[in-house]
């Protein structure tokens, strides 16, 4: 009998996880699921992240050192960053187009939007933000009483503790020098960067620096280091193989936990939450689906002729299903690398350089979602963003996606920066928070697919793509005995 491919097993695990969560919510067993099943999902993510950090380090070092000469490294690096940037801007433009055309925020009832608007004006006033669309409800006698009632409520709005903490961090960032993001990329103590998962950009910086220096020292000295680095890399890849064998079970636990936490012992709650935010969620989902099924295949068709539409999805499906279930491109990175190398035939020299960087700096799904979220929240508060403000969104979401850590919900936190850049109240992210996890799962699939697409294009451009249509992806993560 033909063995079931791993991604099918993972999908079955996911479906069973959701069914279990719904059943346990119905039967009132949610706390059992959260106490005894969910921890295995957390263990799974921890295992993948445990592998991802050293894998980024060692694979970039070996990728850079294997490229051999610094000038082709420079050319390839430049090309990689440029294409990453282009796909991100494309994703943001698509997001802005959809949200400005459908206007999901305007589909909410008029009275709540007027209240929202008054709230916004009170807040903008207190923060000294200029209101750019020239409307002023606070000065309108018709809304005077309502404004007074609402101003009392507004004062308590920012009291939500975790949100306030996150905002404080971002505020601190704002106060520092404009070159602070650049300063933050250069570590003063590399071991500190390693022990803080969030400092991936510092790890990439160190790995590039180390790899380049390896190119400039005599061969007899660099060779043993490189052999060691490659050996260590193989050990980490073997760890991925082993962990992935258990992925279907882990994914069951992960999904059971996520859904149980949302539903508690009342499934109806989930349905209610989704109803209120259904238009917004739908637009995000349409944007993400278009990226995966239309934009990336088109880009691939344009630049890489030898890979068929179906072939690409077949090759990437194990990584895509994993991205969906873990909501983390960093945790998915080892799987993305295996799929790209084994199933698409991208040379290791390219993938080990392009993918770890992509997992950190390229997040097309996240930036598309952020663009839609900001404009949706503005619409919900009756704010018409000017063309200049929409342009600011393009710039800040591009930069925010570079700074977003490749872990669950990071995109939501970075949304605070984008909201600030156009003078909107960052506390509004609480509005879209309830549906964030499911959208996070989908945008992570886009993030990972985008990295793989760019990696394939770069490999083809360098003549390092050896694709074979017949390759069976069910053999990905096969453990040799």
Q: How far is CA 200 from CA 66, 140, 230, 277, 352, in A?
A: 22, 50, 20, 33, 15
With b meaning 16 or more CB within 10 Å and e meaning fewer, what string describes 243-257?
Answer: bbeebbbbbbbbbbb
The least CB distance from residue 401 to ligand ASP, in Å, is 8
The least CB distance from residue 438 to ligand ASP, in Å, is 12
The least CB distance from residue 250 to ligand ASP, in Å, is 17
Give the range of 235-243, 333-341, 406-414, 460-468 binding ligand ASP by CB under 6 A: 406-414
Task: Check binding of 440 to ligand ASP (CB under 6 A).
Answer: yes
Give the range of 13-21, 221-229, 251-259, 442-450 binding ligand ASP by CB under 6 A: 442-450
The least CB distance from residue 243 to ligand ASP, in Å, is 18
Comparing CB distances to ligand ASP, the nearer of 24 and 444 is 444
Give the range of 13-21, 28-36, 93-101, 443-451 binding ligand ASP by CB under 6 A: 443-451
Comparing CB distances to ligand ASP, the nearer of 244 and 442 is 442
Between 290 and 329, how does the x/- string for binding to ligand ASP read (CB under 6 A)? Answer: -------------------------------------xxx
Task: Check binding of 406 to ligand ASP (CB under 6 A).
Answer: yes
Based on the number of CB atoms within 10 Å of its own CB, is 33 exposed (0-12), middle (13-18) or buried (19 or more)?
buried
Which residue in 424, 429, 434 sits closest to 119, CA to CA? 424
Between 257 and 296, how does the x/- string for binding to ligand ASP read (CB under 6 A)? Answer: ----------------------------------------
Alpha-carbon gap, residue 250 to 242, rounded angstroms: 13
Task: Check binding of 407 to ligand ASP (CB under 6 A).
Answer: yes
In eight-state DSSP terms, residue 346 is B
Comparing CB distances to ligand ASP, the nearer of 256 and 368 is 368
**Which of 379, 397, 447, 456 forms a contact with ligand ASP (CB under 6 A)?**
447
Comparing CB distances to ligand ASP, the nearer of 75 and 437 is 437
Give the range of 76-84, 157-165, 213-221, 440-448 binding ligand ASP by CB under 6 A: 440-448
Determine contact, residues 449/316, Cβ cutoff 8 Å.
Answer: yes
Which residue in 82, 88, 80 sits closest to 460, CA to CA? 80
The least CB distance from residue 245 to ligand ASP, in Å, is 23
The least CB distance from residue 445 to ligand ASP, in Å, is 9
Alpha-carbon gap, residue 237 to 239, rounded angstroms: 5
Alpha-carbon gap, residue 380 to 55, rounded angstroms: 43
**Which of 64, 96, 374, 410 forms a contact with ligand ASP (CB under 6 A)?**
410
Alpha-carbon gap, residue 377 to 429, rounded angstroms: 8
The three-state (H, E, C) secondary structure of 234-246, written as one string? HHHHHHHHHHHHC
The least CB distance from residue 439 to ligand ASP, in Å, is 8
Between 363 and 402, how does the x/- string for binding to ligand ASP read (CB under 6 A)? Answer: x--x------------------------------------
Comparing CB distances to ligand ASP, the nearer of 64 and 363 is 363
Number of residues that bind ligand ASP (CB under 6 A): 16
Determine contact, residues 429/314, Cβ cutoff 8 Å.
Answer: no
Coil, helix or strand for 14?
A: helix
Coil, helix or strand for 128?
A: coil
Task: Check binding of 341 to ligand ASP (CB under 6 A).
Answer: no
With b meaning 16 or more CB within 10 Å and e meaning fewer, what string describes 291-315?
Answer: bbeebbbebbeebbeebeeebbbbb
**Which of 13, 105, 257, 411 forms a contact with ligand ASP (CB under 6 A)?**
411
Based on the number of CB atoms within 10 Å of its own CB, is 98 exposed (0-12), middle (13-18) or buried (19 or more)?
buried
Comparing CB distances to ligand ASP, the nearer of 374 and 410 is 410
Alpha-carbon gap, residue 124 to 121, rounded angstroms: 5
Return the structure tokens found at 404.
Answer: 């977003």
With b meaning 16 or more CB within 10 Å and e meaning fewer, what string describes 212-229?
Answer: bebeeeeeeeeeeebeeb
Which residues of this chain interact with ligand ASP, rule CB under 6 A?
Answer: 327-329, 363, 366, 404, 406-411, 440, 443-444, 447
């Amino acid at each position: 009998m033909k063995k079931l491919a791993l991604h099918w097993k993972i999908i079955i695990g996911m479906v069973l996880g959701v069914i279990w969560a719904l059943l346990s919510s119905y039967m009132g067993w949610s706390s059992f699921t959260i106490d005894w099943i969910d921890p295995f999902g957390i263990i799974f993510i921890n295992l993948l992240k445990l592998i991802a950090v050293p894998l980024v380090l060692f694979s970039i070092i070996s990728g850079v050192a294997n490229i051999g000469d610094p000038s082709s490294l420079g050319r390839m690096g430049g090309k990689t960053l440029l294409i990453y940037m282009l796909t991100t801007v494309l994703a943001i433009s698509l997001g802005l187009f959809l949200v400005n055309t459908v206007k999901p925020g305007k589909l909410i009832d008029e009275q709540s939007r007027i209240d929202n608007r008054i709230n916004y004006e009170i807040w903008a006033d207190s923060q000294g933000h200029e209101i750019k669309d020239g409307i002023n409800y606070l000065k309108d006698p018709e809304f005077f009483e309502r404004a007074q009632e609402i101003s009392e409520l507004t004062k308590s709005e920012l009291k939500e503790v975790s949100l306030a903490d996150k905002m404080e961090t971002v505020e601190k960032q704002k106060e520092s020098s404009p070159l602070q993001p650049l300063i933050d990329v250069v570590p003063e103590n590399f071991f500190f960067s390693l022990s803080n998962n969030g400092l991936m950009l510092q790890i990439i910086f160190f790995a590039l620096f180390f790899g380049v220096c390896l190119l400039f020292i005599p061969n007899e000295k660099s060779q043993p280091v490189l052999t060691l680095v490659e050996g260590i890399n193989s050990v980490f890849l073997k760890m991925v193989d082993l962990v992935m064998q258990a992925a279907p079970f882990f994914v069951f636990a992960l999904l059971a936990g996520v859904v149980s936490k949302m539903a508690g012992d009342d499934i109806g709650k989930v349905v209610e939450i989704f109803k209120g935010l259904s238009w917004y969620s739908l637009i995000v989902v349409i944007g993400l689906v278009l990226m995966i099924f239309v934009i990336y295949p088109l880009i691939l068709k344009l630049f890489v002729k030898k890979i068929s539409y179906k072939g690409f999805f077949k090759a990437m499906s194990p990584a895509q299903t994993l991205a969906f279930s873990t909501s983390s491109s960093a945790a998915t990175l080892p799987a993305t690398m295996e799929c790209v190398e084994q199933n698409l035939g991208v040379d290791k020299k390219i993938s080990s350089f392009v993918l770890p960087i992509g997992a950190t700096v390229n997040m097309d799904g996240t930036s598309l979602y952020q663009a839609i979220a900001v404009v949706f929240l503005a619409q919900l508060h009756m704010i018409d963003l000017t063309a200049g403000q929409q342009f600011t969104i393009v710039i800040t979401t591009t930069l925010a996606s570079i700074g977003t850590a490749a872990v669950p919900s990071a995109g939501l936190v970075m949304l605070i920066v984008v909201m600030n850049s156009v003078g909107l109240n960052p506390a509004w992210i609480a509005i879209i928070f309830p549906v964030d996890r499911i959208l996070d799962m989908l945008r992570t699939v886009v993030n990972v697919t985008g990295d793989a697409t760019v990696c394939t294009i770069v490999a083809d451009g360098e003549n390092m793509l050896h694709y074979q249509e017949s390759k069976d992806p069910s053999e990905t993560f096969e453990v040799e005995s």
